[in-house]
Amino acid sequence: MPPDGASIEARYRAQTPMSERTMQRASRSMVRGLTRSLSWFAPYPVVFDHGAGAILTDVDGNEYVDLFGNGLSVIHGHAHPPIVEALTAALQRGTAWPGASDAQIEFAELLCARIGADAVRFANTGTEATMLGVKLARSVTGRPVIIKGWHAYHGSYDDLEAGLQGQAEVPGRVALATFGELDSYAAALERNAGQVAAIIVEPVQYTGLVTTPPPGFLPALRELARDAGVLFVLDDCLMFRLAEGGSAERFGIDADITCLGKWIGGGLPVGAVLASSELMSVFDPLGPDAQYHGGSFNGNLLGSVAGRIAVASLTASEIDRIDGLADAMRLEIEAAAREAELPVRTSGVGSAFGLYVLDARDGEVDHEGSALLHLAAVTHGVYYGSGGEFGLTTAMDDALTQRALSSLRAAIADVASERVTVAR
């Protein structure tokens, strides 16, 4: 049990009475009071009031060091001053127009330069980007099948949800392979010979259990796609943070189609698909077989303004800095867990990683223990993803890292103590 004698859950409830009342109200108009699955954790989620930099404040006035960045979608922290200033000025001009804008063009040029692509199409979310990327691949090749990894998350699109939460392949549409196992992708290609439009891959699987690619896997997968005559689609919505050129630069690969989302909007909803001029020509409205692509808010003024600043501000030096903070944090967490005799595992790359409590009997992830550690961390003023996901922002510095580590050490000790008490 925690030192004060209260259970972790009891302490959480005592610290967050307004969150509980607010969630009760929210539940009357939204299922479980939420509009995204990721936000849920028992006994009820925190309700936030505002954020500034790497600090979130809830409706009860509790502060949290934010180690999640809204699911890796806020790379520079909350209310990043340059973005706030630029958006305040942009609002005077409007929000969305039925044509291009200077901000949209500048943003497009920046993204193409960072990725090494010829052209971009904007969307509103990462989900829309992967949907559009798949549509592009199917249109260009004239083939229907997409190969993706089991447990890989590519957004809320039925085809790309295959392999998640027990969902199987979609015959004639989606084939599944095992991330990290090249032979599995080769077998999927063979099973669907002549029907495959593309292989889509999340370079680091982040949802569920953060899983990094085995050395050489991604370049080999890219070559497999090239040899098979199918397109290689890189879903870099999450891992574009790993280098100025994204995970393609980090892992030494190139993609036919790159899908972006999450943090590229500077805290606003923006998605993007990038490819060569040849591939993107299918969206040319004057082309012989033009594909229609709608979206009233595609490339809207505010997202373009905020996005350009966010992308331009994530420099190689800033990436190296937050990667270093994350590496140090993982080592400290593991050391604290050894001292408390709480078996844990961390996994990930750079500033994105996962933390899981393990079952001492078989070394597998203990989901109940992991959830308890998350709740304990919240009671000590640290917020990371309820599934164990971490994503550091550039708003983190050495002082905030030490503050977060102190809280995480206390949370680890609480969980170790409560588990021993329950076992007795």
Q: Across the 424 residues of the chain, what is the mean pLDDT of every consecutive 10-residue run? A: 78 98 96 88 97 98 98 97 98 94 98 98 97 97 98 93 92 97 98 97 93 97 98 98 97 97 97 98 91 94 98 98 98 98 96 96 94 98 97 98 98 91 50
Residue 267's alpha-carbon distances to 76, 86, 259, 303, in angstroms, are 9, 13, 17, 8
Domain containing 259 equals 81-313
Whether 357 maps to a domain, the answer reads yes
Q: Determine contact, residues 242/350, Cβ cutoff 8 Å.
A: yes
Same domain, 335 and 305: no
Whether 355 maps to a domain, the answer reads yes
Which string of DSSP letters, residue by residue, matches 266-328?
TTS--EEEEE-HHHHGGG-TTSTTPPP---TTTT-HHHHHHHHHHHHH--HHHHHHHHHHHHH
| C-alpha neighbours within 13 Å on the C-beta side of residue 100 | 9
Tell the residue number behind the tokens 């077998």, with chain if given.
187
Same domain, 301 and 356: no
**Paired residues of 272 in beta bridges:** 122, 260
Residue 360 CA, distance from chain mean position: 29
**Total domain count for the chain?**
2
Q: How far apart are the first and last CA of the chain?
A: 12
Same domain, 273 and 150: yes
Question: What pLDDT is stored for residue 424 in this prediction?
Answer: 46
Same domain, 288 and 392: no
Instruction: Report the C-alpha gap between 20 and 81 in whole angstroms.
Output: 31
Question: What pLDDT is stored for residue 54 in this prediction?
Answer: 98
Same domain, 190 and 285: yes
Q: Find, among 237, 207, 202, the residue nearest to 217 by Cα.
A: 202
Q: Are β-strands 344-349 and 352-357 bridged in parallel, bridged antiparallel, or unpaired?
A: antiparallel
Same domain, 88 and 15: no
Whether 1 maps to a domain, the answer reads no
Domain end marker among 294, 313, 332: 313
* Token pair recorded at residue 344: 């844990």
Question: What pLDDT is stored for residue 288 in this prediction?
Answer: 87
Domain end marker among 279, 313, 347: 313
Whether 53 maps to a domain, the answer reads yes
Q: Find, among 246, 271, 242, 325, the residue nearest to 128 by Cα.
A: 271
Tell the residue number behind the tokens 């505002």, with chain if given.
50
List the CATH number of the domain containing 114. Answer: 3.40.640.10
Q: Determine contact, residues 129/237, Cβ cutoff 8 Å.
A: yes
Same domain, 252 and 283: yes
Whether 158 maps to a domain, the answer reads yes
Containing 199, the helix (H) or strand (E) segment is strand 196-201
Whether 96 maps to a domain, the answer reads yes
List the CATH number of the domain containing 27. Answer: 3.90.1150.10
Q: Is 166 helix (H, G, I), strand (E, B) or coil?
A: coil
Same domain, 138 and 181: yes
Same domain, 93 and 180: yes
Classify burial at 41, counting beta carbons within 10 Å of its beta carbon; exposed 0-12, middle 13-18, buried 19 or more: middle
Same domain, 280 and 201: yes
Question: What pLDDT is stored for residue 37 in this prediction?
Answer: 83
Same domain, 180 and 223: yes
Whether 286 maps to a domain, the answer reads yes
Same domain, 87 and 71: no
Alpha helices, DSSP H, located in 61-125: 69-72, 81-90, 102-115
Whether 2 maps to a domain, the answer reads no
Domain end marker among 279, 298, 313: 313
Model confidence, pTM: 0.95
